[in-house]
Chains A and B, each alone.
Chain A
Amino acid sequence: MSTDTDDAPFAESEETPFTDIDLGWEHRKNRIFLGIIFAASMFGVVMLALLLLDVVTDFYRGQTEFGISLIDFFTRDGSRRQELAGFRGAIVASVMLMIFTAILAFFVGVGSAIYLEEYAPDNRVTRLIEANLANLAGVPSIVYGLLALAAFVNGIGLGPILLAGAIALALLVMPIIIVSTQEALRAVPDSMRNGSYATGATKWQTIRGVVLPAAMPGIMTGTILALARAIGETAPLIMVGALFTNRIAWGPFDRFSAMPTQIYNWAAEPEPHFIHLAATGIAVLLAFLFAMNGIAIYLRNKYERDL
């Protein structure tokens, strides 16, 4: 700790004539304060450790005491019968959700960010879009589920299919992709743009040929992190109607139940066997999350350089 250097002058001044200031107490007060805020900082860490430990223990007990075989878990679909239930359908659905969410959100999100960073004049419309973006990021995820339910599932009659879930997730992560893309574009120095303009390139040619390639690692990192957020989202999928099927979804127009909704189904059951199925599912979901975050960090470190 760097506190010793700051406390040093006071330690020597015990015999100062200013007796109304109890320096010993001041010193203790500092110590107590540091103790309290250090303990508070550790609270979050301890809770994270407990959470992971709980998942790992329940995962392990599921394997040993409840006979959940990982092979069955990965090759069976959801089932009302605990001994037949597996996670394959949920994993397939989640992977497909990620693909369609990425397709729907990436191009529109990056396009919006390019407009806002490169083209947008500083006027009221632009400020409205920016303010709206900040507000969208604060909208609860369950509301995106309601939007998809009313507009797509029932409004245009898609039904509770995987594509409707992907639309809800895409709208949900769009603000995240836009903001991270804006940051990546901002990190490209103007000298690179000016160099391109000097060769006679138009703005669009500059963006395509110079700015986007330079910003792409940052954009990819932001997109992967946004998808990592989307893969764990449960509430919008439940609103869309993802709770009520146990069959595997083979395409975007099938009914589906993804990893988080399947975990919710299991966790809400009172039997301990289902709780341990949920723990096994969470272990798989967290593995996906850590892998996606790992890829994002790898990309960031590999391509991070001074522009």
Chain B
Amino acid sequence: MSTETDPGPGITGGTARDDIESNRRARRILFGCASITVLTTLAIFFVLFDNAASYFFGARFTEMLMGASVEQTVTFTEFFTGTRWAPSHATPSHGALPIIFGTLAITVGAAFVSIPIGTATAIYLSEYASPAVRSKLKPTLEILAGIPTIVYGYFAIAFINPVILGPIAGALFGINLGRYSLLSGMLVVGIMTIPMVSSISEDAMSAVPDDLRNGAYALGATKYNVSTRIVLPASISGVFASYILAVSRAIGETMAVTLAAGFNANITANPFDEVMTMTAYMVSRARGTSAVGTVDYQSLFAVGLLLFLMTLAMNLLNDWFKRRFQEEYR
């Protein structure tokens, strides 16, 4: 910047006292900005607990303070162990297990895709790839990470399910595959979390100092030995962090699983069945303003709270893991 010649926008004709005062004022305003992020978190907690309370107890916390009567309409036992999820059905049933199963099944299935492939990609990028290959492969994976989840959902419903899985299910198992399937949800969420695992793991592997590698080579180790027995263990905290982040992302993933796995809440071991995740349920019941006060509306927040707590647990686990196992190399 050519600040030597022009006085710059911050320089005024006022006294030094004015300048110091404006500095103080700027500091206070900027602190206000930073505290908005904390307020956001508090607001998320408050909104989710407040509205979820009306699902379980028939009144929001704010209404309880005003003296609304409290009677538990949905017990936690029913919510966490019941196997039929139909909160707004004529004969309502509040067992969230089927949608929790849907979310966990897709998360685990996606992890089986993204963790091995992402780790292998990271090893290749960090240990084997020539600079020319690296400079092309990394941006390509970044594009994969930047594609909106709705496009992945489209990819699942228009390609993976009918073109790839449909013929396999028909030819090998004699199953007539519907529009949605659990397996297609696992695959598409796995694919979209590969770049997450690979880029964070690769950063961790690249941070391992060459001294460690050279020490192993000097003992006669092969490149395979060095990659799997030196680099991978030395970077394990970062690699694990990438796994936790990918799992956390898979739990909260919405549009891809909604279009891939469908809306039928059931517990099944058949990967070609339609299942419903917690997020897909929320999408299916979103009605904006019209539904306020209904069980549908309240259940959105009960499910949303559970989802938020699950991802929060993952994030806290990640923090703890980083603090506990991070190795500092100089």
B312 interface residue, CB < 8 Å from A?
yes
Contact B41 A108 (CB under 8 A): no
Task: Give Cα distance in the complex from A226 to B191, angstroms.
Answer: 22
B267 interface residue, CB < 8 Å from A?
no
Most chain A CB within a 10 A radius of its CB, from B20, B123, B124, B151: B151
Q: With both chains docked as a complex, state the minimum distance between the C-beta of B255 and any C-beta of chain A, in angstroms.
A: 5
A residues within 8 A CB of B292? 154
Q: With both chains docked as a complex, state the minimum distance between the C-beta of B61 and any C-beta of chain A, in angstroms.
A: 12
Task: Give Cα distance in the complex from A263 to B256, angstroms.
Answer: 12
Residue interface mask A239-269, B partner, CB < 8 A = 1? 1111110000000000000001001100110
A64 interface residue, CB < 8 Å from B?
no
A30 interface residue, CB < 8 Å from B?
yes
| Number of A positions contacting B (CB below 8 A) | 108
A129 interface residue, CB < 8 Å from B?
yes
Most chain A CB within a 10 A radius of its CB, from B47, B116, B251: B47
Contact A111 B33 (CB under 8 A): yes
Task: Give Cα distance in the complex from A29 to B252, angstroms.
Answer: 39
B29 interface residue, CB < 8 Å from A?
yes
Residue interface mask A209-230, B partner, CB < 8 A = 1? 1100110000000000000110
Contact A142 B252 (CB under 8 A): yes
Task: Give Cα distance in the complex from A107 to B33, angstroms.
Answer: 8
Task: Give Cα distance in the complex from A264 to B158, angstroms.
Answer: 12
Interface residues of A (CB under 8 A from B): 1-3, 6-7, 10, 26-27, 29-30, 33-34, 36-38, 40-41, 43-45, 47-48, 50-51, 54-55, 58, 107-109, 111-112, 114-116, 119-120, 128-129, 131-136, 138-147, 149-151, 153-155, 159-160, 171, 174-175, 178, 196, 201-210, 213-214, 228-229, 231-235, 238-244, 260, 263-264, 267-268, 270, 275, 278-279, 282, 285-286, 289, 293
Interface residues of B (CB under 8 A from A): 1, 3, 8-11, 19-20, 22-23, 26-27, 29-38, 40-41, 43-44, 47-48, 50-51, 116-117, 120-121, 123-125, 128-130, 137, 140-141, 143-144, 146-155, 157-159, 179, 191, 194-195, 198, 217, 222-224, 227-228, 245, 248, 251-255, 258-259, 279, 282-283, 286-289, 292, 300-301, 304, 307-308, 311-312, 314-316, 318-319
